[in-house]
A and B are shown apart, each in its own frame.
Chain A
């Protein structure tokens, strides 16, 4: 069964450094999402992406964040200058159409020191 994959599974970085989290959505899906979960808190929506454009973003998704679909398979989340409070589990998801069920990846655990 097709799955969403994410790399790396874990990443440790220094505050102020740039990180890129990578996702490979299910191959025929067109809608992509990033969510994050700070330890012990809710899973929160960050951004949705379709047709090479951001469809919707939350207040968390400020200028430090960007998303890109650099090729036909990858979907990336970049944090330009990481802060301590960016430490979280980041989940990628995809769906065939926006009203369909979203399929999630296993997450990337980001630790900012």
Chain B
């Protein structure tokens, strides 16, 4: 069975600095999707970034980028130039793209604090 592990329950970063959130996963599949979702306090989870496993190039979205290491089954999120609005819970998630199951498998989340 697939699992997702986020080993950092909480992280802090100074405003304008860079922080990296870790995520590892376990799967026997070769094709899958990985996601980072952000959940601000009392708000819904919103998609930050998505990576297809067959793509070697790391996904980027503005200040957010990932370091996808397929062999190591690692999928870390880097936030550059951190802003106060980045403070949130961040969830890493895995999903198989094939028909039959589209459920997400989530990690336990990392709470990011941004210090002014």
- Chain A interface residues toward B at CB < 8 A: 3-4, 9, 31, 33, 35, 40-45, 48, 55-56, 58, 91, 95, 98-99, 101-107
Contact = CB atoms under 8 A, between A and B. Distances in A.
Interface of B: 4, 35, 37, 42-47, 50, 91, 93, 97, 99-109
B103 A107 contact: no
Dominant secondary structure at the B interface: loop
A51 B99 CA distance: 16
Contacts, number: 53
Nearest to A57: B103
B99 A91 contact: no
Given A45-B105, A101-B47, A106-B42, 11 more contacts: A3-B44, A9-B42, A41-B108, A42-B108, A56-B100, A56-B101, A91-B44, A98-B102, A104-B44, A104-B46, A106-B43
